[in-house]
Amino acid sequence: MDERKPLLEVRNLKKYFDKSRGFFKREKRILTAVDGINLHIYKGETFGLVGESGCGKSTTGRTIVKLYKPTDGEILFNGVDLATIPEKDMLPYRRKIQMIFQDPYASLNSRMTVTDIIGEGIDTHKIFDDQEDPELAKQEKIYELLESVGLKREHASRYPHEFSGGQRQRIGIARALAVDPELIICDEPISALDVSIQAQVVNMLEDFQKERELTYLFIAHDLSMVKYISDRIGVMYIGKMMEIATSDDLYDKPLHPYTKALLSSIPVPDPNNPNKGSRIVLEGDVPSPINPKEGCRFASRCYYARVTMAKENYPASFSNALIGKTSIKTILNPESREIIVAENQVITDFAATLIDELGFTEVLVGKAKCFTETPELVEVRKNHYAACHYIEEINKDIL
C-alpha cells in the first residue's frame, strides 16, 4: 500500500450463502460467493473490479453497502468498520456510499416518477430539512441533477418505461448523486447499454468524479471495459482476489496466470504489446463455489499447475512417485474402460500400482501445492499484488 490513506479498505471479506439441502438441511452446501478478499480504494480514484460472471463481483459490492450481511471480515470506511456497527448507525453511510446497477430498468421502481425516484434519498436523509421550503429545494435539486446528467426538467414527471436504456442509466446516476455520496459502487453500469451509449455514460461518470471528488468501485466482467476508466484494477476468480495492480501495470505486466489468460482473450490492436500473439486458452471447467476444496481456485484451469510425470524419471518406482498426486485427467483402464482415477482426484496406492502395471509411461498431474494450499494475495512488486504459489517462477524474466 502506498502512503495515501484509503477511503475504503476491505479486509478478509467473506459472504457465504447457505444452500444446504434435504431433511433438516443435512446436506451442507455453502456457496462461498466472496471468500476472504482484500482491497483498498483511495479517495478520488477508480478501482475496477473484474472477473467472469458469477465470480462474486456484485456480492462484493452489495456486501460493502450492507445490502448483504457480511459473513466475516472488515469493511473500513474512513476507518469505521461498517461490518460491525449497529444498523441504526449505518444511515449516514447509506448516504455516503451509493450504488448504480447494471439493469437500470430493474433497479428503478416502475410505478414511481423520476422526481420520486431521485427524491427518495433526499427525503430519507433529510437533506433539505433545514431549508425554508424543503420541497421546493428538493425539486430544484432534481431539475439541476436531471440537467447535469443530460436530461430535461420536463422528464421529472415521467415514469421509467418512457425512457431508453441509456436515459434510464442517467436517472440511476442522478439518483446516486442526489445525496452527495463519497463512494459510488458502479455494478456493471454500462454492460447492458449499446456500445455507442457506453462511452457517453463513462465520460459522464468521469466528469462527475472530477467535479465532485468522487471515488468509484467500478465493476465489469470484461477487462477491456475497465482499463480506460480505472486507476487500479482487482481481478476476481470464484470468490477470491487473484491480482491487484495499477491499470497500466496490469495490462503491460500481468503476473497472475488467470489475468494473463483473460488478457490474451482480448484482441490487442497494438503490435508492440507483449500480450499479442500469445493467446492462452482457458481450459477446464469453472469449479463450483459450493464447498470448494482447499487449494488455488484456479488450479483446475491453470497451465502452470500441471506437470507431466514420466516413468523414465522415476527408475526406482513410478507407482510410489504417483501416490498422492492429483491427476489432471481421467485415467481409464485401456482394457476394461473402467475409471482408474477421475479428473482432479488424488491417485491412491491401488490406482498408482495399476497405472504402472498397465504400462502407462506418462501421467499429467497437478502440482501438489496448487491443489492443497490456498495462495494468499501478497505484494509481489510495489503496489502489485498477486495470489499464486509459483508467481516468481512463472514471471522469472520480468520480476
Ligand X SMILES: Nc1ncnc2c1ncn2[C@@H]1O[C@H](COP(=O)(O)OP(=O)(O)O)[C@@H](O)[C@H]1O
Kindly state whether residue 388 participates in binding ligand SF4, applying the rule CB under 6 A: yes
CA distances from 89 to 65, 66, 95, 104, 123 (A): 13, 12, 12, 28, 18
CA distance 237 to 385: 14
Strand partners, 384: 381
- The C-alpha cell at 128 is 433539505
Identify the residue among 58, 98, 107, 230 touching Mg ion (CB under 5 A). 58
- The C-alpha cell at 385 is 499484488
Reported in sequence order, the residue ranges of the chain that DSSP labels E, i.e. its strands, are 6-18, 30-42, 46-50, 72-77, 80-81, 97-100, 183-187, 215-220, 232-237, 240-246, 306-310, 326-327, 331-332, 339-341, 362-366, 378-381, 384-386
Q: Which of these segments, 9-17, 93-101, 151-159, 300-308, binds ligand SF4 (CB under 6 A)?
A: 300-308
The CB-of-305 to ligand SF4 minimum distance in angstroms stands at 4
Kindly state whether residue 377 participates in binding ligand SF4, applying the rule CB under 6 A: no
Identify the residue among 55, 149, 261, 387 touching ligand X (CB under 6 A). 55
CA distance 198 to 210: 19
CA distance 123 to 133: 13
Kindly state whether residue 54 participates in binding ligand X, applying the rule CB under 6 A: yes
Identify the residue among 8, 31, 114, 380 touching ligand X (CB under 6 A). 31
- The C-alpha cell at 130 is 433545514
Kindly state whether residue 7 participates in binding ligand X, applying the rule CB under 6 A: no
Kindly state whether residue 365 participates in binding ligand SF4, applying the rule CB under 6 A: no
Kindly state whether residue 390 participates in binding ligand SF4, applying the rule CB under 6 A: yes
282-311 residues in contact with Mg ion (CB under 5 A) are: none
- The C-alpha cell at 238 is 470464484
Kindly state whether residue 296 participates in binding ligand SF4, applying the rule CB under 6 A: yes
The CB-of-260 to ligand SF4 minimum distance in angstroms stands at 10
Strand partners, 385: 244, 379
Q: Under a CB-based contact definition with an 8 Å cutoff, are residues 185 and 97 in contact?
A: yes
Kindly state whether residue 59 participates in binding ligand X, applying the rule CB under 6 A: yes
Q: Is the dihedral of CA 168, 171, 177, 181 positive or negative?
A: negative
The CB-of-398 to ligand X minimum distance in angstroms stands at 29
Q: Which of these segments, 18-26, 74-82, 324-332, 387-395, binds ligand SF4 (CB under 6 A)?
A: 387-395
Q: Which is nearer to ligand X, 17 or 360 (CB)?
A: 17
The binder of 31, among ligand SF4, Mg ion, ligand X, none, by C-beta within 5 to 8 A per type, is ligand X
Binding site for ligand X (CB under 6 A): 17, 31, 33, 51, 53-59, 289
Binding site for Mg ion (CB under 5 A): 58
Binding site for ligand SF4 (CB under 6 A): 257, 296, 298-299, 302, 304-305, 370, 375, 388-390
